[in-house]
Amino acid sequence: MEAKLVAGKKQERSINDAFASHFAKSVFLTVVGLAILTFIGTRMFTHIDLNLYGYMVGTLVFIGGFFYRFIAWGERPPTKIIIKKGLKLIFRKSTAKTAVSHLAIYDFIRNRGFYRWVQHILIGWGCVLACLVTFPLVFSWMYFTMVDNGYYTIVLFGMNVMKVPAEGIIAFLSYNALNIAAIMVITGVCMALSRRLKNMQARAEQKFIYDFLPLYLLLFISITGLLLTVQNVFLHGWMQPQMSLIHQFSVIVTLIYLPFGKLAHIPFRPMSVLARNYREHYGEQHMKECKVCGDKFVSVEQSKDVIQVLGVNEIEFNMEDGFNLAELCLPCRRKYRIARFSGYPTHKVKVKEANQNAKG
């Protein structure tokens, strides 16, 4: 029995040792998966649109950058705890509700204001719609053929799904899905730029490269995409090849930049569901009371995990008063730091801060 276990462990190690790192393994398996899906979708590579070749290359580079960023982030001790414990709780009854709230309707942003909520809905769902249309077309998982005059056949993964009238509503929405997405993104980006340029606090906190450049990239992609339709419909294709290259270049640059800038929070966003499950599940079990004021502020499990992570990073916050700084709620923690400098026990003063319960 022991010999079988040892042999199994050796075999497992040999498979993992075939790759230089988790990053290399993840990228390889993802690219192989995409190749298999493309092989099926293109009916053994018999239907490939070479006009979309640049988008395919940009997507593959994006995948490499995304996994590099995600694995570097996921290997951090606090992130690893959230992912590991969050995945164990993925089948909680509240997971579906949390996913809808965080990934679909953005309730957490609506609490900050209706204007910001609308702009995020437009940008977020505009980008999602564009991806749902673009990637299946790029990898030829979906395309259209016309066998019968006046009818298009929708082909999905090499199978004829349905026939639709060329002048029907389904065909119209299919043709204009990217235009609709572009209009949504342009509207949302303009709302975001207006707020960031007019709001003095936002202007003081924003940086051009990190905060404004992603918005300008999305705006440029959307405008050039709409211009392709305008050139085709109203200008009889005038300068369309040149604009097609400009649009394709802007998309490729954005895909390469996406994992390393502010837009990376879009593919990272599903992780918030795991974090919410983690907080809610252990919060329902036993809450931690602040060592100074006695208020319950986090779960006992989260408090233990914070102290453990600090220990892994060789950071010790054990105070002379007999508690760890992580065992204090945020207001008491701030007041305790003041006490350390002033010599007066300000953390024991029973006065709430003016913005202690502020939203946003």
Highest mean pLDDT of the ranges 227-231, 232-236, 267-271, 346-350: 227-231
Rounded CA-CA distance 80/70 in Å is 11
Interval 100-105 mean pLDDT: 90
User: pLDDT value at position 188?
Assistant: 96
Bigger pLDDT: 177 or 50? 177
Q: Report residue 58 as tokens.
A: 């940009």
Bigger pLDDT: 128 or 159? 128
pLDDT band (50, 70, 90) for residue 278: very high
pLDDT at 23 exceeding the cut of 70: yes
Q: Tens digits of per-residue pLDDT, 106-136?
A: 988 988 889 999 999 999 999 999 999 999 8
Alpha helices in the chain (DSSP H): 2-16, 22-41, 53-74, 77-88, 95-99, 107-110, 114-138, 169-198, 200-205, 213-233, 240-257, 265-268, 271-285, 300-312, 330-342
Bigger pLDDT: 233 or 11? 233
Domains of the chain: 16-68+94-269 (1.20.950), 288-348 (no CATH)
Q: Tens digits of per-residue pLDDT, 282-339?
A: 998 889 998 888 888 889 998 899 888 888 877 778 887 788 888 888 888 888 888 7
Q: What DSSP assignment string belongs to 261-305?
A: SGGGHHHHTTHHHHHHHHHHHHHHH-EEEPTTT--EEEEHHHHHH
State whether the Cα torsion 244-246-247-251 is positive or negative. Answer: positive
Question: Cβ(270)–Cβ(307) under 8 Å?
Answer: no
What is the overall mean pLDDT for the chain?
85
Q: By C-alpha distance, which of 201, 208, 247, 210 is closest to 226?
A: 247
Rounded CA-CA distance 334/323 in Å is 15
- 142: β partners: 156
pLDDT band (50, 70, 90) for residue 358: very low
Q: Report residue 285 as tokens.
A: 């079990």
Rounded CA-CA distance 278/89 in Å is 7
Report how far apart, in Å, the C-alpha atoms of 101 and of each of 108, 252, 260, 272 are.
8, 31, 26, 10
Q: Which DSSP category does 318 fall into?
A: B
Rounded CA-CA distance 28/50 in Å is 23
Q: Which amino acid is at 247?
A: H
Q: What DSSP assignment string belongs to 10-39?
A: HHHHHHHTTSSSHHHHHHHHHHHHHHHHHH
What angle, 0 to 180 degrees and rounded to 10, lies between the N-to-C axes of helices 53-74 and 114-138? 120
Question: Cβ(247)–Cβ(221) under 8 Å?
Answer: yes
pLDDT at 2 exceeding the cut of 80: no
